[in-house]
Structures are given as structure tokens and as C-alpha cells.
Amino acid sequence: MDYFDKIHILDGGMGTELVKKNAPMGKLPEELNITHPEIVKDVHRSYIEAGADVIYTCSFGANPYKCKHSDHSVGEIVKASVKNAKEAVKESGKDVRVALSMGTIGDILEPFGNLKFDDAYEMYKEMMTAGEEAGADILVLETQTDLLEVKAGVLAAKENTKLPVWVTMTFEPNGRTFTGTLVESMAITLESLGVDAIGVNCSLGPKELLPFVKRMREVSSLPLIVKPNAGLPDPRTGEYDLSAEDFAKDMKEFVNIGVSMLGGCCGTTPEYIRGLVDITKGHKPVKLKENNHSYLCSSREYVDITKVHVVGERVNPTGKKVFQQALINHDIDYVKNQAIEQVEAGAKILDVNVGLPKIDEKGLMVEVVKELQALIGTPLQIDSSDPKVIEAALRVYNGKALVNSVNGEDKVLDTILPIAKKYGAAVIGLAMNEGGIPNEYEKRVAIAGHIVEKCAKYGIGPKDIYIDCLTLAASVQQKEVRDTLNAIRLVKEKYGVHTVLGVSNISFGLPKREYINTTFLTLAMDAGLDLAIINPNNAAMMGAVDAFLVLDNVDKGAMEYVDKYAQIAALEKAQGITNKSVKLVKPGEAAGNDEAGGTIFDHILKGLKDSVAKDAEELLKTKAPLDIVNDDLIPALDRVGEDFEKGKSFLPQLLASASAAEAGFSVIKEYMAQNKTGETISKGEIVLATVKGDVHDIGKNIVKTILENYGFTVIDLGKDVPPEKVVEVTRERNIKLVGLSALMTTTVASMEETIKQLHAAGLDCKVMVGGAVLTEEFAMQIGADFYSKDAKQSADIAKKFFGCEGA
């Protein structure tokens, strides 16, 4: 189908037409395809007569999730829907295409709900293969709200059928879907995934949707589909407010901006479609040239690489003991915290690397990607040397990612580039090959040339290539520093690609590394660096980037610079800090600020994070780490717990004190890791999980915070955890105490099942349980060993259990 030879007319609303024809509307209207095929065909006929070039099948909700109560299988309903549409087309004798309509599955994808990405994929696959078999011409995912669910559908279509795929999503007045998907992110992601046409349907009328369609056109050259409602509905009656005539008038704007396909959604009828035929007569869609901007995006944010941006490098265990331990303990919250910190410090892209020996890198990478993309909007850079890990991560990535990395070796290029292309990712190419890193810049440029050539072969254009000209330590290869800078300049000039650089290696082996790092970064930016991989928590490095943008006349009027640094300067002045930058403090965070005077005990009681961290640093000069834990931190926490029990404080205060104590623990842990004291603060390992079916994990997280601050190591399995997983981890790590949480009566059953399985596995462990609906009696009934009414009590139980009472 040529999307640009004419404006194709699509059909209008299905539901209202069925009601009008007196169809008996059950819970699953799609069953009408089987029970009342004539009525469905009648609706199709009316749209064909009105002039539709493409009709949508009556199969919107015919997916395995929504059909679970139906007497008919998904295959039966889908095939019947295609058959009805095709028969109506055949009778008409017209050249009309049949598009298999697929709405949202209706279940919620992880981590917000329980639906797994792979299961969503399978559900769409089931519909799509049945649809293709029955003779559908097009697959259309419509009224979609979650870009990740759409991606599952697109992959299902591409991997299992030969049909073209269209996607239309449903946007709210703020330009986002209910799940937060941004107009631009949708367009960028789907174009890079190779979808055939994109657009909008439902939710709003033509006028309200127009700005969104214009925005899609700004970032994408794909053919566009517009299928609005007949205006806005009256909430009482469900009636829409635009007449067919007004609808046509408003739709004319889309003809003017050159969209390819026009139709209607809720509230539109054949009359509305006839109106579209009239307004499109004599008009053609406008084909845009391929957009050569370089985009990266998540579902919620996109970055157009037109100036230098910071890539946060901190989600990476290399050389970081605490991070490594967090990965081993499956402490995903630690990783999330690292991500949040970097985003707040100004990173626009986050590198994600979870590679450690003896760790399931693929499983962990997929989990971390899923969790991070649910939490933050910053696009991710997938960093691994294992193509399988890269592919698994790109598959579930909700947006357009950057792959770190390929190099000039053909073996690497031929493995990774097809993966990047398939999932629409951009790639980082290291200017090195089998022979290592050439010293001379000319040779690095030549390798970059080879990478660009190979990319072209796999269909990846320069706009999606980021060459890393590689930083060598100035202490060892001083002469070659200039080679890196020359290479940056040259690869950009010669190949029209972007450049990326890990900066801080430059100062390896030198004192006062920051001086070297900031200066090198500045030189690199001047040479044309686009993405600087740095630690965004380093104020001097961020300052260099911000200052460069002013001096390079990019930050016009130094607006952004002044906005950021005027506040910081004022704060520094107020706090009498002259030689070192402070972080910008946001409202509410002031709560954790410094207080002069007082002991670490007082500061924990008051919940003063920064003070406690400083106190701990101070104490470490004179006191053994474990003595600080036992003499200072734990007694303070005990007092906090006591106050809480007596009603002298309440939950937020308990947690504020716990966080303050945690700041002290972190300082001590870091010290012990660096000084290899061989000691450990851990008073015992505890597995925590919110049981299967339950996605409320605030209670469990509170318990975790408290337990950790009493010095226990918590293996947090997260929420909605299957019993098998609890058994597996408990066995593998020889855990003696397991904590289970459930919020709902409905999920206490899976708590019982988890306890049963732990017992059945013959594991020598005790189980403590907690949750809103539990009582001591109930807890004993389901086989728990301990009942914990709140977080404080869970710490008491753990202390008693591990024999550290009074410690």
C-alpha cells in the first residue's frame, strides 16, 4: 500500500453503530462476530459505502486476557472478525483493505502490574497470527496507552507475520497517555522499530489532537493516521459534541498538514466518514524527507542531541565495592538510588552496566532496565560486552536506547549491529579493533570509518552512530591526548556522526584528578564532543559542561547557567562555603541538613542525615568502626524505636531517624570496604518479599529500611514474588530468617503457600510475617513462626533471632 499516493479514508466508530443496529451488547462485544455476524457485516458495509478505503475488524478486545470468560477462543473470534470484514469487502466489489484492530490487553505490565512483557508478546502473537491466517491485510494496534505494551505487539507482528503494522495511541490533553508516554517518544521509538504508520485515535476531538499530530511530524517522517472522536463526550450521556459537518471542518487541518490516513473513533458514524471523503478530494499526503536529528528517548522523555549532554556513568560496578555487593545482594533499590541521584544532578542519559563475574548479567540487566525505566524518564545506554545481554535489554527497553558498545572488529560489528538495528537503537563505536587502540589519530579515524561503513550495511545511518575516540591516561601517553581530540574533530567532519567519550581515564595516576578531568573535558567539548560520560555528582565536571554551553553561545543569555548557579552561589555564601560546591537543595530535602553541635545520638533522633554522616566520619578518626555501630548507632536506633512504641513519635520520624542512621552506616561501610578491615557490620542475612499477587510494597520497604539500619543484610526480592523464588534464594544463600509481607486478604493465601513451600523444601529457616490484614493468631494459623505488627517489631524479632539482643 502506498501511503502517499492518496489520502486513505479509514472507517469510524464500531460500538455505537452496533448499538444502533440493535446488537445485543454483552461483556465482550467481539463475540458478535460469531453470534451475530450479519450485524457486524452491516456496520462494515455502511463504512465501505461511505467511502472507507480501510476498515477495522471488530476485534478490539479479542485478546486472551479479555476473552478469558468467553466460550470462544481468541482464534475463533479473531478469524470470524476478519471473515466478516472480508465478506463485506467482497460483496462491495471495492478495493478496500482489512485491518485487524487490537486494543490494549487490559492487564498491567510489570513492574506496575503482574503482566510479563513476554506474555504480552504472546497474546498479541496469538491474535496476529490468527488474523493473518484469516486474511487480514494490516495489523493495527489502536487506543494504546503504554508504549512498552505496544513494543511487545510490534515485535510480535514483525517476528511472526509479514503484515504491515500501524500503531495509534491515545493521548490526554497534556500530550501524554495515561501511562505517561509522550507524543515524541512514541513517534521516535516506533519509527526506529520499523512500524509502517503511526498516529492518534480516540480520547479527544480533532482540534485537541492537532497539536500532537504536528509534534509527531516534527520528529518523524512516517505516514500519519488520525482517527479522533466526534469531539468531547458529555460525561452524563456519553454523547459527543461535534456534528459530522463540524468534524469534517476540523479534520481539514490534517489534510493541510499532509497526513496519510483519516478516519473517526468514538461517536463517529458513516456520515462523518462521508464528510472526510469530501474534504480530501483532490488532496495528497505530504511525504517528508527522513528526519536527520539524533534522538534517544524513554517513553516519557526524549533527547535531541544538538548540544553536549552528560551521560551518567555511576550505574556500573567496576571498581566499586559497595555497588558490587549491592548487585550480589540483589539490592535493586541501591541501583535505583544511584540513578535518581545522577538524574537530579543533571545527567540526560544513564549508562547501565551490571556485569560482574558469577552473576546472571542478562537476568539482572533486564530487571534493572525494567525497574529504572518505570522510575525515571532519562533514556538509558545499555552497557555490556555480551550480545545476549544487549539484546535482552533492548527487547524490553521502553524507548530508543544507545548501545555501549561496538568496536572496529568485524566479529563484533556483525553480531551487535543487526541487534541494534532490529530494536531501533543507536550505537557507540569505539575507535579500536583487534590490534588495540592505535596511538595515531588518523588510524582511529580510519577505524571509525570502518564502523560507519558497516553500520550503513546494516541500515544504521550516521545520525545513530556515536564514535568514542577513546581517552588514554595522560600520565602514560601524554602525547596521544591530542590524538584523541583531533580524532573527535575529524570523525565528526568526515562522517557526520556524533561523538562520545569516557572522560576521567585521562587523569589516571595523577594527583588532583579533577583539574585534569575538567580541562580535558573542556578541550573535548571544544573539539566537538556530544556525549560526555562522567560522574554527574561531581560539581566541577558539571560546572565545566554548563560553563562551556555559555561560552559556546548555546545557552543563550546564560539563562540556564544563571538559573542554576545563582541559587547555588547564594547557598554557598549563606553556609560560608568558599572552596567547594554544594548541591542544590530542593524544598523538603532541607530536612536532612546540618546542625551545629549535638552528638551523633541527638542527630539520629532528630533525623539529621548530613550531620550523622559527618559525625561518623569524625568518630572514625578515633574509634573502631564496629564500636561506633554498637556504641552509637544501635543505641540511638533503640531509643528511636522506644519512642515510637510509646507513641512519643510516629512513622515518618522513625523513618527519618533510620535514614539518618543509614547515612552513618554508609560512611562506616565505605570505610571498611576501603580499609579492608575484614570485619563486617552484618548481623545476619534476611530475605524480604511481598508475596505473589501483591504489588503494595511500602510496608515491606519500611521494614527493610529499619532492618538495614540495625545492621542486618536484607536480600530484597521485591513485590509480587512467587513462592518458588523465595525458596530458591533462601536455599542458595542459606538464609535463616525470611520476612513476608501481604497487604490484602486476597494475597494472604499466597503468603501461606510460600510458607508451605519453604517447609516442604525442608529448609532450616524461620518465617516472620506482617501486613495490614494479619493478626498474631492468623499468622500462626498460616504457619508463620513470628508475627510482626510493625517495622520496629520486625527489628526486635531479628535481633532476638540472631542473638544480638542488647548489642
Partner 1 sequence: MDTRLTIEDKSEILRYLGYRGSEITDGVEKRIEACMNKANEVSKIGYSYRLFSVSYEESGVVVQNALMTMPGNSIKKHLAGAKKVAFMCVTLGRAFDVEVEAQMIKDPASGVILNACGIALTEKAADELQAIIDGSLEGSLHTGVRFSPGYGDLPLSLQEDFLRVLNAEKYAGIRLNSSYLCNPSKTVTAVCAIID
Q: Are 426 and 459 in contact (CB under 8 A)?
A: no
- Report the residue number, 214 or 336, with the smaller CB distance to partner 1: 336
Binding part of the chain for partner 1, among 1-9, 109-117, 536-544, 634-642 by CB under 8 A, reads: 109-117
Please tell me whether residue 596 binds partner 1 under the rule CB under 8 A: no
Cα separation, 497 vs 495, in Å, equals 5
Helix, strand, coil content of the chain in percent (nearest 5): 50, 15, 35
Q: Are 471 and 520 in contact (CB under 8 A)?
A: yes
Q: How far is the CB of 533 from partner 1 (least distance, A)?
A: 24
Q: Are 43 and 7 in contact (CB under 8 A)?
A: no
85 CA to centre of own chain: 38
- Report the residue number, 480 or 615, with the smaller CB distance to partner 1: 615
Give me the amino acid identity at 358: K
**What beta strand segments (E) does 667-734 contain?**
685-690, 713-716
Q: How far is the CB of 563 from partner 1 (least distance, A)?
A: 19
Q: Are 175 and 212 in contact (CB under 8 A)?
A: yes
Q: How far is the CB of 565 from partner 1 (least distance, A)?
A: 23
- Binding test (CB under 8 A) with partner 1, winner from 174, 578, 579, 622: 174
Please tell me whether residue 398 binds partner 1 under the rule CB under 8 A: no
- Report the residue number, 286 or 744, with the smaller CB distance to partner 1: 744
Please tell me whether residue 232 binds partner 1 under the rule CB under 8 A: no
Q: Are 567 and 539 in contact (CB under 8 A)?
A: no
- Report the residue number, 443 or 692, with the smaller CB distance to partner 1: 692
Say how many CA atoms lie within 13 Å of 386 toward its Cβ: 15
Please tell me whether residue 702 binds partner 1 under the rule CB under 8 A: yes
Cα separation, 21 vs 13, in Å, equals 13
x-or-dash pattern for partner 1, window 351-390, by CB under 8 A? -----------------------xxx--------------
Please tell me whether residue 178 binds partner 1 under the rule CB under 8 A: yes
Please tell me whether residue 143 binds partner 1 under the rule CB under 8 A: yes
At 160, phi and psi to the nearest 5? Answer: -130, -10
x-or-dash pattern for partner 1, window 195-214, by CB under 8 A? -------xx-----------
Please tell me whether residue 337 binds partner 1 under the rule CB under 8 A: yes
Q: Are 585 and 593 in contact (CB under 8 A)?
A: yes
- Report the residue number, 205 or 275, with the smaller CB distance to partner 1: 205
| Cβ neighbourhood burial of 514 (10 Å; 0-12, 13-18, 19+) | middle
Grid cell digits, residue 764: 532450616
- Report the residue number, 158 or 614, with the smaller CB distance to partner 1: 614
Q: Are 62 and 103 in contact (CB under 8 A)?
A: no
Please tell me whether residue 591 binds partner 1 under the rule CB under 8 A: yes
Please tell me whether residue 655 binds partner 1 under the rule CB under 8 A: yes
- Binding test (CB under 8 A) with partner 1, winner from 113, 459, 496, 635: 113
Q: How far is the CB of 79 from partner 1 (least distance, A)?
A: 25
Cα separation, 340 vs 297, in Å, equals 17
Q: Residues binding partner 1: what is the number (CB under 8 A)?
A: 61
Cα separation, 48 vs 9, in Å, equals 10
Give me the amino acid identity at 6: K
**What beta strand segments (E) does 555-677 contain?**
none
Q: How far is the CB of 656 from partner 1 (least distance, A)?
A: 4
How many C-beta neighbours within 10 Å does residue 507 have?
Answer: 21
Contacts of 133 (CB under 8 A, 6+ apart): 79
Looking up cell 533527547 gives: 303
Handedness of CA 603, 609, 614, 617 (dihedral sign): positive
Please tell me whether residue 588 binds partner 1 under the rule CB under 8 A: yes
Please tell me whether residue 71 binds partner 1 under the rule CB under 8 A: no
Give me the amino acid identity at 542: M
Cα separation, 295 vs 238, in Å, equals 40
- Binding test (CB under 8 A) with partner 1, winner from 1, 108, 286, 626: 108
Please tell me whether residue 608 binds partner 1 under the rule CB under 8 A: yes
Contacts of 295 (CB under 8 A, 6+ apart): 184, 188, 219, 302, 303, 304, 305, 400
Please tell me whether residue 554 binds partner 1 under the rule CB under 8 A: no
x-or-dash pattern for partner 1, window 733-762, by CB under 8 A? -----------x-xx---------------
Q: How far is the CB of 737 from partner 1 (least distance, A)?
A: 21
Cα separation, 87 vs 80, in Å, equals 10
Q: How far is the CB of 26 from partner 1 (least distance, A)?
A: 7
Q: How far is the CB of 716 from partner 1 (least distance, A)?
A: 11
Please tell me whether residue 333 binds partner 1 under the rule CB under 8 A: yes
Q: How far is the CB of 629 from partner 1 (least distance, A)?
A: 20
Binding part of the chain for partner 1, among 50-58, 334-342, 534-542, 766-774 by CB under 8 A, reads: 334-342
Please tell me whether residue 772 binds partner 1 under the rule CB under 8 A: no
List, edge to edge, every strand of the sheet that includes 295-298. Answer: 302-304, 295-298, 399-400
Please tell me whether residue 179 binds partner 1 under the rule CB under 8 A: yes
- Report the residue number, 286 or 585, with the smaller CB distance to partner 1: 585
Q: How far is the CB of 117 from partner 1 (least distance, A)?
A: 15
- The binding site for partner 1 (CB under 8 A) comprises 26-27, 104, 106-108, 112-114, 143, 145, 170, 172, 174, 177-180, 202-203, 235-236, 333, 336-337, 340, 374-376, 587-592, 606-608, 643, 647-653, 655-656, 658-659, 693-696, 698, 701-702, 705, 744, 746-747
